Structure 1
C-alpha cells in the first residue's frame, strides 16, 4: 500500500510516494523511543538514493531522518 505526501527532506511543493515502514526501519524507529506502528517512509529517489524521511501517517512533525545506512 502506498500514498503520496509532502516530504520535508525532499523539499519543494511536490507530493512523493510514501510506503509503510518495513521491519528494519520499524526497529530503528522503536530504538528512538517511538511506537513504530503506523509509520511511513518517503519513497522518493534523489541523486544520493532513496530518501531517509519516516513519519507517522498523520503527524509529519513527529517524523525523523533515518541514518545513511538505510539508503
Structure 2
C-alpha cells in the first residue's frame, strides 16, 4: 500500500493495517523456513510496509497530542 493511501486512514485503521502486515510477514517467514517461498523480496517489502505504517501512526499521535 502506498503512503498516500495510508495517510488517508485514521490511527485505528493504520493499527489494523499493521496487524495484517505482521500476520502476512509471519506467514512469509514460515514459508521461507519450509523453503516454499520463491520470492524472498516479499519479506523486505512487508517489513518496510510495517515500518511505514508505524511511522504514520507515530506522526498522527504526535500531531494529536500537540492539539
TM-score range relative to shorter protein: under 0.3
Higher relative contact order (CA 8 A, sep 6+): 2
Answer 1 or 2: which has greater helix percent. 2
* TM-score (ref. length: structure 1): 0.21
* TM-score (ref. length: structure 2): 0.22
Larger Rg: 2
